[in-house]
Amino acid sequence: MPDRSSLLTRTGKVLLGIALLPFCAGFAWQLAVLSIRITYQPLVPYWFAGGFILYVVIHFLFKKPILSYVVGHELTHALFAVLFGGSVKAFRASEKGGQVQITKSNFVITLAPYFFPLYTFFALAAYWLARAAGASVLEPWLVLIAGAAFAFHIILTLIFLQTDQNDIREHGAFFSYPLILLFNIVLTALLIRLLLARDMDYLDFLVDGIMRSVSLIVLGISKLSGLIVR
């Protein structure tokens, strides 16, 4: 039987997860508005979309790259542990699963593999290095790889979230799923800013997303108050 502090923590996370739902809706709305309004880099979105579609086709026609996903999953745990001041003691990955022993953990480290597309950002880093080096011939191919890696992240994450995951169980589904969705939206916007957009203010996106979310909360409270009064 869980102790009182554990029960309070679980209850708090459930309530926080519920509170995140309007932010998921608000930021999703803002991302949709953003993707329509911004000016894109010439041809870059086509290469990215081509890579995305290419991976989708490969995924359903050939053997699923489970090992690659597990390696990336555990590497993301390790990366975020280091970013938070921890260190990595051991690392193991196979098609049956993986494990990384780290000296620091929190909900961001635990859930990071589900919202941070590691391979996509590797491709993004390579793209910017190619631009800096003047290797323009490589740029479209790296954008193609980034698109494929992003599709890989989305599809494999959705597949793995359908199975029992210790990471999700640790913090609870009611907290984990809204957080994962919100962070995926925020990082997708960042990816658009760094790779696809010609003119986009990422800070404006964050502020507008918060404002839309708050508007949804106010609207919800107003509707609820109206029902109670009746």
Residue from 83, 118, 122 nearest 103 by CA: 83
Q: What is the pLDDT of residue 17?
A: 92
List of long-range contacts for 42-47, beta carbons under 8 Å, 24+ apart: 43/140, 44/140, 44/143, 44/195, 44/196, 45/196, 47/140, 47/141, 47/143, 47/144, 47/147
pLDDT tens readout for residues 148-159: 999 999 999 999
Q: What is the pLDDT of residue 7?
A: 66
pLDDT tens readout for residues 142-183: 999 999 999 999 999 999 999 888 899 888 899 999 999 999
Q: What is the pLDDT of residue 221?
A: 86
Residue where the block lists tokens 């490589």: 138
pTM of the model: 0.91
pLDDT tens readout for residues 108-131: 999 999 999 999 999 999 999 999
The pLDDT of residue 2 is above 60: no
